[in-house]
Structure 1
Amino acid sequence: MADLNSTLFEYDLHLLQIIANRWDVDLDTRDEKIAAARLAEAMLIPEQAAHEWSRLSDAERGALQLLLASRQHKMPAVQFGRLYGEIRQVGAGAREREKPHLSPKGIAEILFYRGLVALGFDESKTGLQPYVYVPDDLAAILPIHQTGYDLSAEPDDLPDEIEDEELGDDEMEEAELEIEAPPHQQKGDTTLVDDMTTLLAYLQVHEAKLEEGYLANEVQDDLLAQFIGPKEYPRLDLLIQLAGQMGLMTVVNGAFQPIRQAARTWLESSRTAQVKTLVEAWRTSDGYNELWLVPTLEPEATGWQNDPTLPRETLRGVFEAIPGEGWVSLDGLVDEIKAVEPDFQRPGGDYSSWYIRERRTGEYLRGFESWEVVEGALLKFIIAGPLHWLGLVDLGMDAPDGTPLACHLNVFGKAWVGQGDWPNRKDPETPLTLDASGKMLVPRAASRIDRFQLARFTEWGAPADPYVYLLNSKGFKRAEQQGIKPENVETFLQRTVHTIPPHVQALIENWRKAQGASAVIQKMLVLRVDTEVLMDVIWDTPEIRRFLGVKLGPLAVAVREDQWQGLVSAMQDKGIPVETEI
């Protein structure tokens, strides 16, 4: 932040005089710039600064010490104000009339009118916002060794996260983060990779039409039924958003479709590389907005916007600063963020302009008092949701199906926060197997590009490890619709399973011979008569024939399914008796 000269140069003469009186300095000028320079010169005399320091109360020194221990000797004004009161901003005229320096609202104003702290603006994660700070050169000479709040040996070793420290009160204890391993644990895994493969295959073989810009509900349900990982809508939304973010799919004629070359490149990558690309896409995605997916919250679109990347970076920074291999309490972690960086997603600490209801009560959640219900719930959702789905954290519970109460960074999570290199393991050679009936088994560990290709010309079985795909006429019909030929299937099978069973080879040969032809079993309405003479009369009567289809022999003819009632009326009009057995 600014030095003392730059700070005082922004003040009017009346404010400079108030500060000068506190420091026993005679300005003896009406020129603001000269007055500011004289005052700064006097305040930067170490003996003068020590004298002013000695006049502070313990509480005032504690507040000042909090700023001095913070990075760049600054703290967001709204955060400092929650602890030590607001610094009211008034013009020279109002200040002369109201004299706020004689009745300060709190410790913050006491320090402000003593010139020990100032207000300024600086960039933050949420944009430009006001800060309370101690001018750099003044901070350097304040005799902090003369108080019980001695932190003189600390600043060089303090982590960057102390920039937004709130743990200044004696009564505030350090949050307890590490806990014993919970009795029930849910390991983070890489099933998101498998379900991304399934998503791309599904979009390749189905026409996934959009309704109001998103997948129809029945399509979402059908997709979830194909997933091997948690069947949750926010997780499906994560996959869709990441597929778009990574350029794996696009919208064509009102439907999602894979972008073939980009999808192939990703599908051919190793599993560890695929996880890394998913994590990187999520880290920067603004299309996936966790705040709108927290099950206990109901945000309203009234024009306000949040930046979904800020909570993710906040969590990443906190995890990065946690040493050790132990389990971390979710409550403790949330408490730590509330103490250290509560305004991580609120520009300027604004807790009143976002319209968010509590889903259970329908009440609007406003003010800092709603922090646990909004920010706290959001942080826990991100940990138990995206971080777990991406395979970065394990979760711990008291009961098998209990609410997560702790988390643990695994090897992927440690790489995400910079505590190690990203895993770079080569995928094991995992064969596909094909039995005599045409059932093909594909383990999760097998090549994703092979499973994607296989899914294009087979009937899908229920999702499991291994996946099941059936080589049959239904799958071959799907293949034809995509321009896949019998020889393409043969080449794939020869490469992946080497030997094609006779039954499967026969299926492929029959498909080859029947290309372009089809056989269909369907229900049909039939008009049957007793004599060929009556059939000729019916067939030669235009008013009746218009309701008929093809002849099925000398005594039977197909009836259009939606026209049979018209046929009955037409025959009765011509005096031909008819009975129905429908």
Structure 2
Amino acid sequence: PTRGRLRENLFNLLVYLQTHPVRLAKNAVSSTDRQALVACLLPPVLPALSPEAELDFLLHLGRRTELLTVAHGRLRPNRNPVRGWLQAGTAAQMWMLQNAWRADPTWNDLWHVPELQPQNTGWENSPLRARAAILDFLERLNAPPNSWLAIDGFLNTIKQANPDFQRPNGDYQSWYIKNAAGEMLMGFEHWDAVEGGLIRYLIGVILPLLDVVELGKSDSGAVPDLFQITAAGQQFLARTPPDAAESQSAVRLRVDDKFQVRVPAQASLYDRFQLARFAEFDQRTDRQAVYRITRASLNRALKNGVTAEQILAFLTRVTNNQIPLRVVERLRAWGGRFSSAKIEQATLLRLKNQQMVDELQRHPAVGPLLGEVVGPTTIILPAKTAHRVRQLLREMGYLE
């Protein structure tokens, strides 16, 4: 159930951050914005991963890969890296994310294990050292394709072969780590809780998200206790990049006369990202995502500088020119009416004669502040300049 989850959720965050302002305070997202971002994610499927923890990993990975950036205090997609990632094939997209995590010293896996509470007392661990050791053990398993392995068996293999895989000099006394009950976990007797907890976190959370392993159950209803290495995982562990010639075949979108746009699951993320600029997400199934073009979603795109003709050109391309005539006509009509009228507050300046109108229009201080002349002796004063014009007219003797 986790295959493709990371890619889909990261895409959802990119879309939301493209269309909604999310500002950072002290490099952190507000609780209100966090709730909105969590709502963008697919329903949770991993027992050991809360939606909030998944969001933290996604935001960290997004910034680490430079898909997300901070500009003027706002968290938003980084245009060129995002375009390149969206246009890449699925395997290349995942390869980028997998290797960003593999080489990232700033995401400390041990400090994200849900059952552990590391204490910041000055001791340090190396996430790269532990990560590399566990991945090396996985690669050396040489498991046949589609074979299921016991998670407990994998833990025992590491415990017997290299129990100190993350502890320089086998030091089990200087790391201050508590369990959820607040009990200190110092000494080798707590290996299963600390080292075992880290291994379970990688096997049960991080690696399934990265499509390196899949989880399974030996008993119906039990928590996952089995795993198998995916084909993509075998490539990742062997450091074999995907075929550079991989390309996404053209997958057509379908638009109906109710303004629904159906996007097959195999469609390009780049096309979906462009669609999301002027359409609202409606629903998702395993086979497709459904968007709906509404007046509000179209106005949002028009306000951001996208034209109705650009939208129609995009839909023509992704549907192979299969757009209902009703949709074409309505989009053009909506686009033509956008911003063709506006309502604003203003003040009317009435003068005694045309000569006074001409004098004020020529005045170097007053003239630039005046609005449109709407009658022989009437001028509109914009709301933002009315107060200043009133002051000047008093100084010039036009007003009492």
Shared fold per TM-score greater than 0.5? yes
Q: CA deviation at 1:292?
A: 2.0
Tell me, what secondary structure is at the counterpart of 1:226?
Answer: coil
Tell me, what secondary structure is at the counterpart of 1:303?
Answer: coil
In structure 2, the partner of 1:292 is 111
One-letter identity of the residue aligned with 2:11: T
Q: Distance in 2 between matches of 1:243 and 1:518?
A: 41
In structure 2, the partner of 1:510 is 333
Q: Counterparts in 2 of 1:37-48, with a 5 A limit?
A: none
In structure 2, the partner of 1:369 is 189
CA contact (8 A) 1:228 1:464 kept: no
CA contact (8 A) 1:227 1:463 kept: no
CA contact (8 A) 1:286 1:308 kept: yes
In structure 1, the partner of 2:232 is 412
In structure 2, the partner of 1:335 is 156
Q: Distance in 2 between matches of 1:489 and 1:272?
A: 29
In structure 1, the partner of 2:292 is 470
Q: CA deviation at 1:389?
A: 0.9
In structure 2, the partner of 1:485 is 307
Q: Distance in 2 between matches of 1:399 and 1:483?
A: 55
In structure 1, the partner of 2:199 is 379
Q: CA deviation at 1:382?
A: 0.6
CA contact (8 A) 2:3 2:209 kept: yes
In structure 2, the partner of 1:207 is 21
Deviations 1:326-369 (A, max 9, x none): 3222111111212222222223322233222111x111211221
Q: Which moved more, 1:463-472 or 1:312-321?
A: 463-472
Percent of aligned pairs with the same amino acid: 33
Q: CA deviation at 1:250?
A: 0.6
CA contact (8 A) 2:299 2:338 kept: no
Q: Is 1:314–2:133 an aligned residue pair?
A: yes
Q: Distance in 1 between matches of 2:270 and 2:236?
A: 26
Q: Is 1:226–2:47 an aligned residue pair?
A: no
Q: CA deviation at 1:220?
A: 2.9
Q: Counterparts in 2 of 1:100-179, with a 5 A limit?
A: none
Q: Distance in 1 between matches of 2:143 and 2:172?
A: 35
Q: Distance in 1 between matches of 2:139 and 2:253?
A: 40
Tell me, what secondary structure is at the counterpart of 2:313?
Answer: helix
Counterparts in 2 of 1:191 and 1:443: CA distance versus 1, 3 Å: farther
CA contact (8 A) 1:397 1:406 kept: yes
CA contact (8 A) 1:201 1:452 kept: yes
CA contact (8 A) 1:235 1:385 kept: no
Q: Distance in 1 between matches of 2:283 and 2:174?
A: 47
Q: CA deviation at 1:421?
A: 6.6
Q: CA deviation at 1:264?
A: 0.2
Counterparts in 2 of 1:516 and 1:339: CA distance versus 1, 3 Å: same
CA contact (8 A) 2:218 2:226 kept: no
Deviations 1:156-188 (A, max 9, x none): xxxxxxxxxxxxxxxxxxxxxxxxxxxxxx6x5
Partner of residue 3 from structure 2, selected from 189, 192, 200 = 189
CA contact (8 A) 1:442 1:451 kept: yes
Partner of residue 345 from structure 1, selected from 150, 166, 170 = 166
Counterparts in 2 of 1:400 and 1:458: CA distance versus 1, 3 Å: farther
Deviations 1:32-71 (A, max 9, x none): xxxxxxxxxxxxxxxxxxxxxxxxxxxxxxxxxxxxxxxx
Tell me, what secondary structure is at the counterpart of 2:18?
Answer: helix
Deviations 1:105-154 (A, max 9, x none): xxxxxxxxxxxxxxxxxxxxxxxxxxxxxxxxxxxxxxxxxxxxxxxxxx
Q: CA deviation at 1:237?
A: 2.2
Q: Distance in 2 between matches of 1:211 and 1:390?
A: 29
Counterparts in 2 of 1:447 and 1:329: CA distance versus 1, 3 Å: same
CA contact (8 A) 1:456 1:479 kept: yes
Q: Distance in 2 between matches of 1:487 and 1:503?
A: 15
In structure 2, the partner of 1:395 is 215
Q: Distance in 2 between matches of 1:275 and 1:421?
A: 10
One-letter identity of the residue aligned with 1:279: Q
CA contact (8 A) 1:290 1:308 kept: yes
One-letter identity of the residue aligned with 1:213: N
TM-score, normalised via structure 2 length: 0.77
One-letter identity of the residue aligned with 1:394: E
Larger radius of gyration: 1
Q: CA deviation at 1:262?
A: 1.0
Counterparts in 2 of 1:237 and 1:401: CA distance versus 1, 3 Å: farther
CA contact (8 A) 1:356 1:364 kept: yes
Partner of residue 96 from structure 2, selected from 268, 277, 280 = 277
Give 5+ residue unaligned stretches, structure 1.
1-185, 521-582
CA contact (8 A) 1:226 1:463 kept: no
Give 5+ residue unaligned stretches, structure 2.
46-50, 344-400
TM-score, normalised via structure 1 length: 0.54
Counterparts in 2 of 1:302 and 1:473: CA distance versus 1, 3 Å: farther
Q: Distance in 2 between matches of 1:452 and 1:463?
A: 15
CA contact (8 A) 2:254 2:322 kept: no
In structure 2, the partner of 1:356 is 177
Partner of residue 435 from structure 1, selected from 256, 262, 284 = 256
Question: How many correspondences in the alignment?
Answer: 333
Q: CA deviation at 1:517?
A: 5.5
Q: Distance in 2 between matches of 1:389 and 1:320?
A: 18
Tell me, what secondary structure is at the counterpart of 2:333?
Answer: helix
One-letter identity of the residue aligned with 2:324: P
Deviations 1:363-394 (A, max 9, x none): 12112211111110110111111111111111
Q: CA deviation at 1:314?
A: 1.2
Tell me, what secondary structure is at the counterpart of 1:431?
Answer: coil
CA contact (8 A) 2:88 2:247 kept: no
Counterparts in 2 of 1:380 and 1:335: CA distance versus 1, 3 Å: same
Counterparts in 2 of 1:468 and 1:401: CA distance versus 1, 3 Å: farther
Q: How big is the alpha-carbon RMSD for the aligned residues of Structure 1 and Structure 2?
A: 2.3
One-letter identity of the residue aligned with 1:506: E
One-letter identity of the residue aligned with 1:267: L
